[in-house]
Amino acid sequence: MFRRLPDPGALPVPGVPVSLDGVPVMARAGDSVAAVLLMAGRLACGKAPVSGAPRGPFCLMGACFDCVVTIDGAPKRQGCLVTVAPGMRIETGRKAR
Amino acid sequence: MSAAGPSQGANCSLPEGRREAPRVQPVSAAGSVGVVASGRPSFEVAVIGGGLVGAAIAFGLRSLGPKLAVLDEGDVAFRAARGNFGLIWVQGKGMGLPAYTTWTQRSAHEWPRLSAELLREAAIDVALAQPGGIHVCVTQDELARRTRALATLQAQPGFKRYDVDVLDRAALARRLRGVGPEIAGGTYCALDGHCNPLKLLRALHAAILRAGGSYRAGHGVARITPHRNGFTLETALGTLEAEKIVLAAGLGNAALAPMVGLEAPVRPNKGQVIALERVPRFLALPVDTIRQTDEGTVLIGDSQQDCGLDDALGLDIVGAMSARAIRVFPMLASARIVRAWAALRVMSADGFPIYEQSAAHPGAFVATCHSGVTLAAAHAYAFAPAVAAGALPESFKPYAARRFHVPTIA
């Protein structure tokens, strides 16, 4: 569903290894955690507390709080506001909220 | 509000049926409906202000279709309508003006109709719930003072009485799951409720547009000139004509009212709101300082400060509000704050609304209050028809601004 736009003029961007729910994923330097979720096809990373409807990255600017995940053990982080770092552990799911 | 504007953490996705095409008002062809000989757009009623007061009145006038205009400022405006708490509240109001409880109760009573019409016409559910509401008293002293104050309130001549249950700790704990151990009690009134005020504002605007009304953003009104056939309105984006005008510009009314022989001595009163993360439903009914939205967000509010046109957030107030909220519901201590904001209430000297038609320039009306959510239904179904009829009934008399003309004692 999501793919990166071609950027022919740019220098090669270093890959950043992270894990998503325990699975190794190669992100790129400068990616947000929300971008990692979307690139991995994880459109839902949690559930709405009242309705139980699936929720995932939406606004990508820190407003909707629908991309909250656990990052390196810290719960309730907004994925769109956190930039990946090598070895980062990203965990989704109801427990992550 | 700040230019960025608050959001409640309400979900941002658009359900089907919520998207409506923007309407464009025909203003070019001279001689067509809505254009006077001068070439200026012309309306039967222009509502100045697109906040909750203006939008509710315009909603009540929407049968005018293209003959109705709502003139709004831009995103830099002080927008009480986008910063408020969302209560539809009856209990405790009307000290010093018994008529105000009648007005408030009328609006609360008509709210289900407003909600149903907005759902039908704008396809937006404003999340109305009127399960009753609770005023929490932390200490026994607070509970005693609250009980006395409500008795004094209801004893006023002409006060339309309603039932208020005084709850001791045990009774309160039965109504509010998770209430803290040190909380003394509270008062419950079955007439209270809440809604999602952002959805309310959006739904009112959508329904006005759908009815053919003209919404004009960026049209802050700089000058109003009355003339024989109505009013000339000079705005930031051009000059318009209207046979009747309704001043519903919030704090802006203070400057606009004298241009048409009215007065609206209102001042800003700062309120701050904290939005916590969405959590599973635990609050079955709103508390006047804490409520849970339809989507699970917990809002903490009801601070009051007089500090002029300053809508900056104060961390001291946020801290005090949070501390009190945790005493009331200890489990909130582990919930994260996702947002906090300040907004300016539109406050008259006695706290009550101002509704009046100009004697010098009939056709010019003013409406201003600080309870735009609670009174939305009354504004739509009682004030708007009076504007359409060209006369405010006797029941609006107590709200004329002349009540502020108290001679100083020499």
Q: Quote ipTM for the complex.
A: 0.76
CA distance B302 to B83: 12
The whole-angstrom distance between B275's CA and the closest CA on chain A is 12
Which numeric CATH code is attached to B266-348? 3.30.9.10
pTM: 0.86
Find the helix or strand (DSSP H, E) in which B247 lies: strand B238-247
Whole-angstrom distance, CA of residue B63 vs CA of residue B72: 20
pLDDT tens column, B353-380: 999 999 999 999 999 999 999 999 999 9
Are B278 and A76 a contacting pair at CB < 8 A? no
Q: Checking DSSP bridges between strand B238-247 and strand B364-368, what pairing results, if any?
A: parallel
Contacts of B9 in chain A (CB under 8 A): 64-65
Residue A50 has its nearest CB partner, among B277, B280, B336, at B280
| Of residues B226, B195, B246, B323, the one with CA closest to residue B70 | B246
Output the CA torsion A50→A56→A58→A64 (10° steps). 40
Least confident of B24-28, B260-264, B273-277: B24-28
A-chain residue closest to B4, CA distance: A63
Give, as one character, the DSSP assignment of residue A8.
Answer: T
Q: What is the pLDDT of residues B159-216, one digit of tens each?
A: 999 999 999 999 999 999 899 999 999 999 999 999 999 999 999 999 999 999 999 9
Q: Write the Ramachandran bin of B174: left for phi over 0, alpha for psi from -120 to 50, otherwise beta.
A: alpha
A48 contacts B12? CB cut-off 8 A: no
Is it true that domain B42-83+198-265+350-401 has CATH number 3.90.226.10? Answer: no
Tell me the chain B residues in contact with residue A65 when contact means C-beta distances shorter than 8 Å.
9, 277-278, 338
Map out the domains of chain B as residue ranges: 42-83+198-265+350-401, 133-190, 266-348
Q: Choosing among A61, A64, A65, which should be mutated to test the B contact, i.e. which has the most B CBs within 10 A?
A: A65
Put simply, whether A55 touches B (Cβ < 8 Å) is yes
A15-96 CATH? 3.10.20.440
Cβ atoms of B119 and B90 closer than 8 Å? no
**Residue B360's CB: how many other CB atoms inside 10 A?**
9
Report how many Cβ contacts below 8 Å link chain A to chain B: 35
Nearest CA in chain A to B12: A64
Say how far apart CA B213 and CA B206 lie, in whole Å.
10
User: d(Cα B358, Cα B256) in Å, to the nearest integer?
Assistant: 12
Tell me phi and psi for residue B41, to 5 degrees.
-60, 140
What is the C-alpha separation between B226 and B81, in angstroms, rounded?
28
Does A48 have pLDDT greater than 70?
yes
Q: Cβ A58–B279 below 8 Å, yes or no?
A: no
Closest chain A residue to the Cα of B277, Cα to Cα: A65
* Gap between the Cα atoms of B89 and B194, Å rounded: 8
* Per-chain mean pLDDT for chain A: 89
What are the boundaries of each domain within chain A? 15-96
DSSP B35: B
Report the C-alpha gap between B109 and B66 in whole angstroms.
30
* Neighbouring-strand partners of residue B274: B300, B340
Query: If you write DSSP's letter for every residue of B69-113 in order, what string do you get?
Result: EEE---TTS--GGGT---EE--TT--TT-THHHHHHHHHHHHHHH
Burial bucket for residue A8 (CB in 10 Å: 0-12, 13-18, 19+)? exposed
Q: Which residues of B lie closer than 8 Å to A, measured between beta carbons?
A: 7, 9, 11-13, 277-281, 294-296, 336, 338
The better pLDDT of the pair B314, B174 is held by B174
**Residue B37: its pLDDT value, please?**
63
Q: Residue B295 is nearest to which of A50, A58, A97, comparing CB atoms?
A: A50
CB B280 within 8 A of CB A49: yes
Q: Are B81 and B201 in contact (CB under 8 A)?
A: yes
A52 contact B CB<8A: no
